[in-house]
Amino acid sequence: MKDWSLKWMFICLLCFLPLAMYLHLISGQIEISFSSYFDSILNFDSKNTSQVLVREFRIPRLFMAIMAGAGLSLSGMFMQTLFKNPLAGPYVLGINSGASLLIALSLMTGVQFFQSNFGLIGTALIGAFAAGLLMMLIAQRLKSQITLLLVGLMFGSFTSAIVSILESFAGAESLKSYTMWSMGSLQQVEFGQLGIILLIFTSGIVASFLLVKPLNMLVIGEKSAALLGLPIKSIRMFVLLLTALFAGLITAFCGPIAFVGIAIPNLTRILFQTTNHRYLIIGNMLIGAIFLLLTDAFIQVLEGHLSIPLNALTSIIGAPFVVFLLIRKLR
């Protein structure tokens, strides 16, 4: 794609992002004046209900929508480039399942270590990374792209079976908290937690941009990239760590959110028509954030009447899109 049309695309997306943020903020059930939004951050009054509402619910939810959308899309993009497979993603390759399994273990077996804030992030990260590592080891023995996806799905079924067994043993309280978590929600984060999540997220983004050149080289395959002097083993680990960081972080705080990680990177590639990761990283972040903001805004609008789990809605939109990709790519 020509450089100028890429630039136009970015400008459009950049204009659309604040609009999506605005829509997300006003889609809540209670109408809140603009001044409350600013006051809740700049000069917070804990006795003012609407300010509390903004600070404790709307702002965290807004940021989580942006970070979850951008982060999951990025981790999907990493997987797709690393495995040279447009149908890879944190969900299909079992990265989410790994995180879910460890979170289920920590929520339902009541091991103390896992129950702090950092414990939760750490748990999800370890689960996500271990699952990624396992997939990588298996991928090296496989030739077919489809086989790897099937292995990922098998891994997903396997972990969800273990989770079911855990559920049957779990007490009512921990079962409830796991079930709530597994539905996926952007409303589980408090204002005070935002700082640390933002910090981890931003460092992930910075690290992503450092990987632009290796990722661009990986497009033509690991072997060719290695012959161009790329230290393939360490790059592979770095990419996997970053994937696990994003997928694990988001999964820990928002629960599993399906299909964003597989659908958005493909959408971005189709829209931008490039393999240059400098553009793909920015594009994935913008499109992912906008997509999740709008999806979650829709959920908020309906919230008075019915509550749709986020995970269900992203699946309803994402699954047909992935089928479309399958038909288009593999036939």
Partner 1 sequence: MIRITRLSIGYSKELLSADNLVLAAGKVYALVGRNGIGKSTFIQTISGIQKQLAGEIAIMEKSIHGLSPMEIAETIALVDTRFEGVEYLQVKDYLALGRAPFTDAFGRMDSKDWRIVEEVALDLGIQHLLEKNTDQISDGERQLCSVGRAFVQETPVILLDEPTAFLDYINRKKLLELLVRLAREKNKCILLSTHDLDLCLDQKVPFMLAAHGTLSIHNTLSKEAIIESMS
Query: Which residues of this protein are in contact with partner 1, per CB under 8 A?
Result: 1, 86, 210, 212-213, 216-217, 219-220, 223, 226-231, 269, 272-276, 278
The smaller minimum CB distance to partner 1, of residues 30 and 270, is found at: 270
Q: Mapping DSSP to helix (H, G, I), strand (E, B) and coil, where does residue 78 land?
A: helix
The smaller minimum CB distance to partner 1, of residues 226 and 302, is found at: 226
Find all residues with CB under 8 Å of 108, minimum gap 6, and list them: 166, 167, 169, 170, 174, 175, 178
Q: In the 8-state DSSP scheme, what is residue 44?
A: -
Q: How far is the CB of 229 from partner 1 (least distance, A)?
A: 3
Q: How far is the CB of 149 from partner 1 (least distance, A)?
A: 18
**Residue 126 vs residues 98, 101, 104, 114, 145: alpha-carbon distances, Å:** 8, 10, 13, 12, 25
Q: How far is the CB of 3 from partner 1 (least distance, A)?
A: 12
Q: How far is the CB of 220 from partner 1 (least distance, A)?
A: 6
| % helix, strand, coil for the chain, step of 5 | 80, 0, 20
The smaller minimum CB distance to partner 1, of residues 2 and 47, is found at: 2
Q: How far is the CB of 263 from partner 1 (least distance, A)?
A: 16
The smaller minimum CB distance to partner 1, of residues 134 and 230, is found at: 230
Q: Round to whole Å and give the CA distance between 123 and 118.
A: 8
Q: How far is the CB of 85 from partner 1 (least distance, A)?
A: 12
Q: How far is the CB of 217 from partner 1 (least distance, A)?
A: 6
Q: Round to whole Å and give the CA distance between 79 and 239.
A: 8
Q: Round to whole Å and give the CA distance between 257 and 295.
A: 12
Q: How far is the CB of 265 from partner 1 (least distance, A)?
A: 12
**Residue 288 vs residues 20, 34, 71, 281: alpha-carbon distances, Å:** 11, 26, 8, 10
The answer to whether 246 and 204 have CB atoms below 8 angstroms apart is yes
The smaller minimum CB distance to partner 1, of residues 111 and 227, is found at: 227
The smaller minimum CB distance to partner 1, of residues 1 and 312, is found at: 1
Q: Round to whole Å and give the CA distance between 259 and 89.
A: 8
The smaller minimum CB distance to partner 1, of residues 193 and 275, is found at: 275
Burial of 309 (0-12, 13-18, 19+ CB in 10 A): middle
The smaller minimum CB distance to partner 1, of residues 1 and 316, is found at: 1
The smaller minimum CB distance to partner 1, of residues 74 and 197, is found at: 74
> What is the secondary structure of 163-225 as a DSSP string?
HHHHHHHS-HHHHHHHHHHHH--S----HHHHHHHHHHHHHHHHHHHHTHHHHHHHTT-HHHH
Which structure tokens are listed for 105? 């273990």
